[in-house]
Structure 1
Amino acid sequence: MSRLSRNNDDIDEPIRVVEYDARWPVWYAADASELSSALGARIREVQHFGSTSVPGMAAKPIIDILVAPVEWPLAAHDRRALEALGYQYLGEAGVAGREYFRRRGAHDTNLAVVEWGASLWRDNLLLRDFLRAHGDAAAEYARSKNEAWQSGARTLLAYSEHKGHAVTALLIAAKRWRAEQPSGRDDPV
């Protein structure tokens, strides 16, 4: 098996959806600090993304962190440094252009290591920013997530598949929203 492909059995895991927890930003900050200490100047940027980054939103209680290394693809020594922190490396995990790591413990964390400025970087941050700015869209997405879980999608892959259409629709709306924003931004979102 190549280092960038994994069996879905390695990736799938039981999930649950819970109400927003005010500890999520604190856990993100602790994880981000740990990542910065371990990788230092080899990280270009670290961002909290996903539903735990949207205040008030129900989510899987797993902190999602977007990591852009200076060197892309991720260097082997940086992968080993993440593994030394307790992260399990799972290759692309079905998403081309991403290196996926997860750590389960006192709180759970997923790392999506992607190229800075690439579509995965931009789209994930755009979706986060859109949900933060549009409470109605965030509430509808939370309903979709709860519906997926209540309907029996109790594992990561089933849950992700069930809510995939909602994510696609949100990303389309977010891109429309971005196009309506004043130009002049120099960040890659």
Structure 2
Amino acid sequence: MEIDESITVVPYHEQWTALFEQEKTILSREFGEAAIEIQHFGSTSVPGMLAKPIIDILVGVRTLEIGHSILEALAKRGYEGFGESGVKGRLYFRLRPEQEQAFNLAVVIWNGEQWINNLLIRDFLRADPDAARQYSERKQSTINKGMTTLLAYSDDKAEYVSRLLERAKQRFQT
């Protein structure tokens, strides 16, 4: 179980929203009252954007001390847990079934920094098609440079994402 994996980006698919809703229903049942809110985020949540064909799900909780029954339910469903994986305040899980839709799960403190920042970027890209187009171009450029593993791809665009977050904060936070 290694966190690095091969990746690619593809054009936006309309079914991503419905697939998120289906998984949200399952996760709502598994997390129960531990989940305050579950949101679709990342590029698959922004119509028209290029994205890794992996749906990102943000689960807002009161505490990152996830109960054993939830961890068991996630494992039974096929999710692998990776702890914080270099992102303080986030528990990262992923589901990579062979024939079905892949998912990333970020469990964070609801209304904490990770929650707010991820939704700010999503909302900014949804509200600004030009920013979404530019970010799509950056993603394709990263792939074209040969950055086709998760860690290399993420590292190459980290500064760009940081600047996106700053733009989102300027636009939405007064």
TM-score if structure 1 supplies the norm length? 0.87
- The equivalent position to 2:148 in structure 1, one of 145, 154, 163, is 154
Q: CA deviation at 1:42?
A: 2.2
Q: Where does residue 137 of structure 2 map in the other structure? A: 143
Q: Where does residue 38 of structure 2 map in the other structure? A: 46
1: CA distance between counterparts of 2:112 and 2:71? 20
- Partner amino acid for 2:129? G
Q: Percent identity?
A: 47
Q: Where does residue 71 of structure 2 map in the other structure? A: 79
Q: Which moved more, 1:100-109 or 1:36-45?
A: 36-45
Within 5 Å, which residues of 2 pair with 1:22-171?
Answer: 22-105=14-97, 106-171=100-165
Q: Which moved more, 1:9-18 or 1:66-75?
A: 66-75
User: 1:87-134: per-residue Cα shift (whole Å, max 9, x none)?
Assistant: 011111111111100001201000000011110000000100000000
Unaligned residue ranges in structure 2 (runs of 5+): none
**Mapped contact 1:73–1:115 kept (Cα < 8 A):** no
- The total of aligned residue pairs comes to 172
**Mapped contact 1:54–1:131 kept (Cα < 8 A):** yes
1: CA distance between counterparts of 2:63 and 2:114? 16
- Partner amino acid for 2:164? L
Q: CA deviation at 1:74?
A: 2.0
2: CA distance between counterparts of 1:71 and 1:174? 26
TM-score if structure 2 supplies the norm length? 0.95
Unaligned residue ranges in structure 1 (runs of 5+): 1-8, 181-189
CA RMSD after TM alignment: 1.2
